[in-house]
Chains A and B, each alone.
Chain A
Amino acid sequence: SQKIEQNSEALNIQEGKTATLTCNYTNYSPAYLQWYRQDPGRGPVFLLLIRENEKEKRKERLKVTFDTTLKQSLFHITASQPADSATYLCALDIWGDSNYQLIWGAGTKLIIKP
């Protein structure tokens, strides 16, 4: 079965440094991968989407890479700020029963310390 792994331990980063989060997957070849942010008591919010033929995607201080050989995506936040503290989720697309669905990682909690 498809499996998505994100670091279960919280990631502590000093303000101003670059935070890097990892999403690894097995047993599937997704065409697309999405990253979301989730704050406590709130629903996930979409951040970025990257296609399999894109090596890298950027949006302001965010950068996502997608290595289909390693079956891994990296999510970077540069010049991190305490407001970036949240849980970050990755999601992969699959086709199940002829319908398009997303399957989700459990998320990594990021803590940016002032």
Chain B
Amino acid sequence: DADVTQTPRNRITKTGKRIMLECSQTKGHDRMYWYRQDPGLGLRLIYYSFDVKDINKGEISDGYSVSRQAQAKFSLSLESAIPNQTALYFCATSDRGVNQPQHFGDGTRLSIL
């Protein structure tokens, strides 16, 4: 089984819909992250959480919200989806401390029509 699991893997939806992407991990890591990846651009951080009670905005948090339901679960919501949120979304985890490598799920491909 994958250490970091994202659901769904693919989603097509319409403008204005509310969407939730889910992430669960079995690595026991405290830190979790949500990124989006667009062609030609590096991964951009949306939100991150260093523990269950700690949620922080990343570089591009507008239009997104998150919930850290437990150490192992971190969900990303698009309250009212718009076409420019079409992208590949990744969840990642890492152990505490600096310079820890990040461990990624296999992503959710989201298309907003």
Contacts and interface: CB of A to CB of B under 8 A. Distances in A.
Interface of A: 4, 8, 31-32, 34, 41-46, 49, 51, 89, 91, 93, 97, 99-107
Interface of B: 4, 40-45, 48, 50, 56, 58, 90, 92, 98-99, 101-107
Given A43-B105, A43-B106, A97-B56, A104 B43 contact: yes
In the complex, which of the residues A41, A42, A44, A104 has the most CB atoms of chain B within 10 Å of its own CB atom? A44
8 contacts: A43-B4, A43-B90, A49-B99, A89-B43, A93-B98, A97-B56, A100-B98, A106-B41
B102 A102 contact: yes
Given A41-B106, A42-B106, A43-B90, A101 B98 contact: no
Nearest to A103: B42
A102 B45 CA distance: 8
Nearest to B97: A100
Given A89-B43, A105-B42, A99 B48 contact: yes
A106 B99 contact: no
Contacts of B48: 99, 101
